[in-house]
Amino acid sequence: MSFVPPVGSYAVIFCSHRTEVDGGYGATAAHMVELASQQPGFLGVRSSRDAALGITVSYWESLEAIAAWRKNLEHREARNQGRAQWYRQYELQVVRVERAYAWQSMDGAADPAP
């Protein structure tokens, strides 16, 4: 933790509802994180999934870096599989970081917001 993306960098917010189908989902998801992290311009990723919803936020230096990752063939095939069997629905936003900060308990209880 304590990752603070630079102002002017970008993120992809991906919210998904899964189907009941497993079929290699976990292994593919882990492989995609590994592949993404080797891409030029990759800054970081955060992911959480509970029974209702999964949210993954990946952070990138530029829109060009996001576009290049979208073109990756393995990533494209994984997205196709996602729509064919793993996801019931999803929402995706590309966003620009306007402000960012992090807080840890050792920082004390004061509000860290600038």
* Residues in binding contact with its own copies, number by CB under 8 A: 52
Q: Sheet harboring 10-18: ordered strands across?
A: 10-18, 54-60, 42-49
Compose the 24-43 pattern: x for residues touching its own copies by CB under 8 A, - for all others: --------------------
CA 43 from chain centre, in angstroms, equals 10
Q: Is 5 in the site for its own copies (CB under 8 A)?
A: yes
Q: Would you say 41 or 54 has its CB closer to its own copies?
A: 54
**CA pair distance 29, 79, nearest whole angstrom:** 10
Q: Is 91 in the site for its own copies (CB under 8 A)?
A: yes
Q: Residue 53: helix, strand or coil by DSSP?
A: coil
DSSP designation for 4: -
Residues forming contacts to its own copies in the complex (CB under 8 A) are 1-5, 10-11, 13, 15, 17, 19, 46-50, 52-55, 57, 63, 70, 76, 79-80, 83-84, 87-105, 108-111, 113
